[in-house]
Amino acid sequence: MAEHHSRTMSEGPKSIGGAGQGVKIGVVLAFVLVFSAGILFLANKTVTNKKTEALENQQKRLGLLAHGRAEVIETWLNGLSHHGDRLIKSDLFRLYAAEVDGIKGDLSAIFGAVGMSEEDAPEDGAALAEQLPMMQNMLREFSTYSGFLNARILNKNGDAYIATDGHLPPMADTQVSLALASIVNKGVEFSQLRKTSQGLEMDIYVPIFPPEAGEDNINAIGVLMMTRQVTGKITELLSNSALSAKSERTRLLQKTGETFREVTPWTSQGFSDVVVKIDLDKDGNIAFGDRTSLSDSDQEVYSLAKRISGPQWWVVQESDYVAAMTPVDNFNRTVYIVAGLGILTAFLIAGLAWWVLAGVQSQRIAEEFKILANQIDDQKRFIDSINANIDEFITLKDMDGKYTYVNDAFAAAAGRSKEELLNMDSAAVFGFDTAKRLGSADNVVTNENRKITINEPIFLRSQRYQFQISKSPYHDGKGVCQGIVEVYRDITEFVAVQEKNKRLIQRAMEALGSTIEAADPYLGGHTKLLAGLSVEVAKNMHLSEMDIAEIETAANLSQIGKMFVPNEILTKPGKLTDEEMTTMEEHVEHAYRILKDIDIAEGVLTAIYQMNERIDGSGYPKNLKFDEVILLARILSALNVFCAMIRPRAYRGAKDPQKALEILASESNKFDSLVVTALADVIKTPAGEKLLASKE
């Protein structure tokens, strides 16, 4: 019994200790499970809050951008209407309009009196008819000075009695309706944008009041109608600002009847069809939401729109869905990774606790921590080694712009030690002007708390580099921005190669033009002259950089089809027969066949194919007329004939440039008069004179 009691006593503490140890392990496991569930709950809540916050920020950002663009456009429209104030608020025009209104809309009393003697002229219209030429001149001067295409004055019945173009062309019903609406409402009216050969145009209608003081209770007696070419301005208003992100776009919608169309002044049509249904809210705006892009049914975007006061226009602000959600997705991924690491850490801790409770020696735990510390040190040395051998420059700046860290590559390029660069700013390293440019990007990073990438030329130790610089904010544990991380990538050689390739392509085009001209001895220098004059005329007509590049390429390739025309036809001294002319005209089809399978811009190919057309339909190969021939082809059409006339041929001598220009102007039914006018301006410039001198 004593022995049994002794054995029981000796085993009791171990049994009790084992039971207690099991309870402790159960408590640890329960804690781990509760802790893991809490981490997952917090992770899900954080992810949900982040997405909600991102959508709210996206809505605020797009709303601010749309509101800002709408205000800019409204200010511009108000400015257009105010242009007419100095005309219609002058006592002379008000008095004249009041006198015209006094003849009760019978304009024959004015126009019938023009050219009559005082005895024969109607009594109430003679004085008005006598003043009419002066009023027309004043209106014409106002229109020219204010940048309008034309202007006219209408009475209360919508009949025009003064016009800048010297006569009174008929007006569309919509124009008359808007003029009458301006008179009835005693306010400014704007027409819809319309596409013409000169680009997008619109009309502005401003009511005219009699000369009595005050206008609140006085009816309008007429209206000033002004027509403006707005292609360039609309393009400028829709272009991305410095505040716009890469994935954000601004669009302009116009409603005509029940149809919405997007205004696209940079396209040949001027408008694009809207592929989605437009739903307006009670305020006439498009609410923020996730929807299909206006012009691409396969692209998902966040967008909203604000109605513009005046014409039926809406400013639409879009942001790509993928780009908007990428930061959220990255954040979600990070949160779940951190949550997973937290749960993994909890299990590791539980495992360590189990080993401790199971009797693992504290010395063994210490050894494990020592090994872990050694691994951390090894990893730190490994990372430092990688960082020291990276070619890209890596820096860290505080909120005052002082460097707190630079890697070896940056220090070597700056010609200073890493220790010396610490606490220096960009001005001390790069100079004041470069630091000022970089500082503007720093402000965007810190103020908007986002990453940006810029390309900047920078001089280091008197040597010019081209860098791609990525700037990102870094934060403390509370999410407060503490500074900027910069990564400089040297793209100097890449930029140089791009420039070299561009020069090689240009030389190849010139060489191809010379090869083409070798087929016809009378073509020598024709292509080069045509290309040079085409570029200058396009600049004079204020075409875009893309159009200028396309017309230069088209001019250089314009004669490529003649390589396949028999030489005896190309060099025949006399007039070609009908069969020979048909063979000659086939050079257009030869050119199209050669170029259509090459990666070449559609505008270039179309310009080459249409350059022998005439606006009256007498050209070839398709007998196209004015509106069917693109502008680039109309330019090449006139300039190709001009260059041919001022150079000698086997059957005639060269014509004087001025004489050739007069011939083109006399054939206004064949050649675009705007192109001929621009050519006349160009050949008087130093650049034009130099090109004409080089033809010799």
Q: What pLDDT does residue 13 have? A: 47
pLDDT above 90 for 512: no
Q: What pLDDT does residue 9 have? A: 42
* Cis amide linkage into residue 621, ω under 30° from 0: yes
Q: What pLDDT does residue 351 have? A: 78
Is the whole-model pTM more than 0.85?
A: no
Higher pLDDT, 442 or 498: 442
Half-sphere exposure in the Cβ direction for 159 (13 Å, CA)? 13
What phi, psi does 605 have (nearest 5°)? -65, -45
DSSP string, 30-95: HHHHHHHHHHHHHHHHHHHHHHHHHHHHHHHHHHHHHHHHHHHHHHHHHHHHHHTHHHHTSHHHHH
The band of 123, judged by pLDDT with boundaries at 50, 70 and 90, is: low
Specify the residue for token string 């240009």: 506
Residue spans of alpha helices (H) in 147-284: 173-185, 231-238
Edge-to-edge order in the sheet of strand 313-320? 270-273, 259-264, 248-256, 313-320, 300-308, 286-292
Q: What pLDDT does residue 12 have? A: 47
pLDDT above 50 for 467: yes
d(CA 646, CA 692): 9
> pLDDT tens for residues 313-369?
999 999 888 888 888 889 888 988 988 888 888 888 877 777 766 665 566 666 777
Q: What pLDDT does residue 10 have? A: 45
Tokens of 382: 């490994």
The band of 479, judged by pLDDT with boundaries at 50, 70 and 90, is: confident
Beta bridge pairs of residue 308 = 313
CA 445 to chain centre: 23
Q: Is 367 exposed, middle or buried (0-12, 13-18, 19+ CB in 10 A)?
A: exposed
Tokens of 659: 């004489």
- DSSP code at position 416: S
pLDDT above 70 for 167: no
For residue 362, give the amino acid letter: S
Backbone angle region of 199, left / alpha / beta, with phi > 0 → left and psi within -120 to 50 → alpha: left
Q: Are 639 and 691 in contact (CB under 8 A)?
A: no
Average pLDDT, rounded, for the chain = 83
